[in-house]
Structure 1
């Protein structure tokens, strides 16, 4: 199988150069033996990028005739659309975005993204809602009328922020700023914004950046969510605790909502290839490498592979998980 994926405008320059170099220098015979795949990750410095780059590196290194390019992306929702349209072969997508996307319920988007299947649960992604300690803000309700950085447009972070604040009847009351985590951490430090929403595994580099640069407070997102409609309208969110001491100066437990970040693949990826890819990543050596890539990957184990999955699993991955003794429920069956 040889397929050249379409290159979106947001593909990183390094990956573009790499593909261009191969195209210009490879002989026709060599090109025919190479399967080129695209893995749509996330913004630079985000947790998605650590995972997508780690998996892309392993597959390119270990599978003969396979070259996987790591692609910069706005995040979950963009990855869903890219994989569905075959602009990418793999992506990282939140379980909630995939569930809503399959059912035509994404915000301002009634398309049904049925070509995206789950490979595995990677990690739980809790919402961090950060303010400066000197702001005096202690409750989510106090953000009404204030500027909140929610992540890039098209990202899972921005989508989750909109769901959370909408459930509290606050989305139209805050002033959302669609910027990335690192830029948001700097803007909060400069008092250009009032709060920063980060939806990612912990510890997160941008939250550490903020907490080491100035005193921060993390608001109790779970407690606030129980006062609104989130539990009934979006039941795939679960409670998670960010332990005291995870971030500098934050000496209390933070209770928040969490979604599952999933490795996803297009239905067009063959069952045989997908089985081979999953087998490689979830080998002892593959998991050892992934656990070294990010602290968030510590939950990336066979036993957790179907955690938080409420949509169909790719046939090749399903075969592997069943061989490992896992059982797929009706929602997860291909």
Structure 2
């Protein structure tokens, strides 16, 4: 009997030991691994691991054949030992912390904008990957991984650009290949922001001023490049996600000029819609309208839908987050009675959306873009597509809202296979500025855009052919810069009065001056 009980006890102990091994390393092993990675990612004496709770584990389904791996989940508390700015450019910052803890951007709390103070607590929901090696669990480092060495200089010390770039490179190399998309997104966003900030500042110092344009190969960027090509103007076009981001960059003072949709500019000026949390952008001024941007709604030709309202239950590519086109697309769908619960929104750009439409991964693509749109034209030449018209009642309602929209028609022949006119709405692509530029700079830029004899098409902007003094005020819903208005009047053909504004100026918000007043 005693022998049987002893055997049972041994079996229970062995079972418990095996269960512990099967569940990954114990808390002490996880703690040691976290401390090691923190030492690699942050300068010495920055943080200490004040608390750790193991939250379970699961098998790694991506483990190589013959290996046993587990993903371990934990909650950690870090205490800052000194003041530290995780957003500083001269240190790994939040990207290093994310890499060390295996946490996504929403998995970390306590990081303060502008810098943290000694004694602050940062909490994280983290993960770590371990490999079974006999009776031990070993932290997994993907092939090609090289631990990042801790910077030897404090974050607020003076360092050269080469040293800063080297520190950032080490952070990137320290990210595991099987890191989550959220982890990689954090690093990509931080680097993209850094790149944009540096280019914007260099543009003002060395090249003059920065122009927030648009996506690579997009119409806004093409126009901006065509504008400065061969011209004696000190400006640098910047790649961005589109109009919404452009207006935010302008408000933040990171650029001096931006391209935007007329409806988005009005919302920014009044502090409504996606800009409600920012408040009115009272200093926003229009230089002038450039060209119309009609709403395009594309479906496969075999799709039974004949109206936008028939897209209920469909997968719709509405545009990238940060683009004004996405906001307008959602507004058009809502006007046709479709809420965000009535369709699946895919937040991708036009090019990606058209590929997905061809591969039947989405059912429709909506884009606000000038005609002719090269990517749409090419897509129509490769596969049978159809442009859906907007309902007449929707057009009447949206134009009547005085929100920067006007009636438009995509004429037959605009795209291959388009034999009948397509009724829709459009907003104007406009050039806007803030308080940075002087009256002289604004006047020079206005003359550069609207003077006769410019061949924008030859310089890569097909939409540039639609730019004219006569339509420079069409669709404007925000105040026009006084220097731009005077320059346009001077450019008007002698004997022909200047064109009247195409829209009603926005009502003053807070303290903005009336339409045409100079930005303060």
TM-score w.r.t. the length of structure 1 is: 0.84
Give the Cα separation in 2 of the matches to 1:92 and 1:290. 18
Tell me what 1:316 maps to: 483
Give the Cα separation in 1 of the matches to 2:194 and 2:305. 38
Q: Are 1:246 and 2:429 matched, yes or no?
A: no
Tell me what 1:77 maps to: 244
- Tell me the secondary structure at the aligned position of residue 288 of structure 1: coil
Tell me what 1:201 maps to: 370
State whether residues 149 and 176 of structure 1, in contact with CA within 8 Å, keep that contact through their aligned partners in structure 2. yes
Give the Cα separation in 2 of the matches to 1:154 and 1:148. 17
Q: Unaligned 5+ residue runs, structure 2? A: 1-189, 493-497, 506-514
> 1:65-95: CA deviations, max 9, x gaps?
x2x2211111111111111211111111111
Q: Are 1:49 and 2:221 matched, yes or no?
A: yes
> 1:236-265: CA deviations, max 9, x gaps?
311111111211122211111000010111
Larger radius of gyration: 2
Q: CA deviation at 1:289?
A: 3.5
- Tell me the secondary structure at the aligned position of residue 229 of structure 2: helix
Distance of aligned partners of 1:114 and 1:235 in 2 relative to their CA distance in 1, 3 Å threshold: closer
Aligned-residue Cα RMSD (Å) equals 2.7
Distance of aligned partners of 1:235 and 1:18 in 2 relative to their CA distance in 1, 3 Å threshold: closer
Summarize the alignment of residues 181-200 of structure 1 with structure 2, pairs less than 5 Å apart: 181-200=350-369
Tell me what 2:398 maps to: 230
Give the Cα separation in 2 of the matches to 1:275 and 1:19. 22
Aligned length: 310
State whether residues 295 and 366 of structure 2, in contact with CA within 8 Å, keep that contact through their aligned partners in structure 1. yes
State whether residues 309 and 337 of structure 2, in contact with CA within 8 Å, keep that contact through their aligned partners in structure 1. no
Give the Cα separation in 1 of the matches to 2:500 and 2:439. 17
Tell me what 2:344 maps to: 175
State whether residues 125 and 260 of structure 1, in contact with CA within 8 Å, keep that contact through their aligned partners in structure 2. yes
- Choose from 129, 136, 146 the match for 2:314: 146
Q: Unaligned 5+ residue runs, structure 1? A: 1-7, 24-30
Tell me what 1:257 maps to: 425
Q: Are 1:36 and 2:204 matched, yes or no?
A: no
Give the Cα separation in 2 of the matches to 1:84 and 1:16. 14
Q: CA deviation at 1:130?
A: 0.1
- Tell me the secondary structure at the aligned position of residue 432 of structure 2: strand
Give the Cα separation in 2 of the matches to 1:89 and 1:18. 13
TM-score w.r.t. the length of structure 2 is: 0.55
Q: Are 1:121 and 2:289 matched, yes or no?
A: yes
Q: CA deviation at 1:301?
A: 0.9
- Choose from 460, 463, 470 the match for 1:303: 470
> 1:279-329: CA deviations, max 9, x gaps?
2333334x2236753222222011111111121112321220232353676
Distance of aligned partners of 1:297 and 1:19 in 2 relative to their CA distance in 1, 3 Å threshold: closer
State whether residues 151 and 198 of structure 1, in contact with CA within 8 Å, keep that contact through their aligned partners in structure 2. yes
